[in-house]
Structure 1
Amino acid sequence: SPAMNMLRGEITTDGGSPSFRGSGGISVPLATALSIGSGEPVVLGIRPEHLRLSDDQGIPVTVAVVEPTGSELQLIGRTAGGEEIVANFRERHSFAPGETIRLTAEPGLIHLFHGETGKRFKTRSEQ
C-alpha cells in the first residue's frame, strides 16, 4: 500500500477556523480542536485511502498516472506546488493524465506533524 501523503505548509486562522496552507495555494480546513498556533510550520499527512474526489473544494491535483489495481484505482498526481500525491479509490473513475481534479479528506482523518521536529500534534481531546 502507498505511504501517507506528506505536504509541507503552515497553519492559518483566517476567518477564525484553523486551516492548513501549503505551496501552490493549497488550503485544507482542519478540525477546530487542534492546539496549534497560526503561522506554525507543519506537515499535513493524509493516507491515500482517505482522499475523496470533490467537485469544487479541496486540493487541486494534476493527474499523472492512473493505475487500476483489481478492485481499486490508484491515482498519482502533482499539486500546484509540485508535491506528489497518491489517492486510492474503490470506485472507478475515468481520469486522464494532464486533467486537474480536486481531492479532499475528512478533517478527523488528517494528521499534522511539526514542520521541524516531525512530532505529531494531538487534538485537545487527546491531551
Structure 2
Amino acid sequence: MNGWLLTAGGIAIVTTGIHATAGGRSVVRPLLGSTVAAEPKRTLHVVWHMVTADLLLSSLVLLGCSFMAAPSTALVLFIAVQYVVYAGLFLIVTLAADWPRPLLRLPQWMLLLPVAVLAFVGSSRGGT
C-alpha cells in the first residue's frame, strides 16, 4: 500500500464531498437563481458537474492506485499536475480580486494543493 497516495485520495474524496455539498449550496443554487442569461447559466451548471465528476474520478483513481503494487506513475503524475493547476488557478483568481484576506475567501486551494503534493511524492514511492 502507498500511504502517500491513500492520503492524497482521502483528501481528494473529502474535497469532492465539500465541493458537491457546500459548493452546491453556496455557488450553484445562487447561480441558477440569478439573472444571468440562460446559455451561460446552463453552461456554468454543466461545468460545475464536470468538475464534480473530475474530482470524483481522480479521487477514486488515487485511492485505487494506493493499493496497487505498481501504480501507473504517468496517471498519478497527471492527476497531481491537474491539482496543482486547479490550486494555482484559485490562487491567481483570488489574489487578483480586491478582497480583504483574499486567501480565505476562496480557500479551495488549501485542499487542492496537498493532494497534488502527496500525489507527486506518492508517484515516486513504491508500496509501503
TM-score normalised to the size of structure 2? Answer: 0.25
The structure with higher relative contact order (CA 8 Å, sep 6+) is 2
Bigger fraction of residues in helix = 2
Bigger fraction of residues in strand = 1
In our comparison, the structure showing a higher alpha carbon Rg is 2
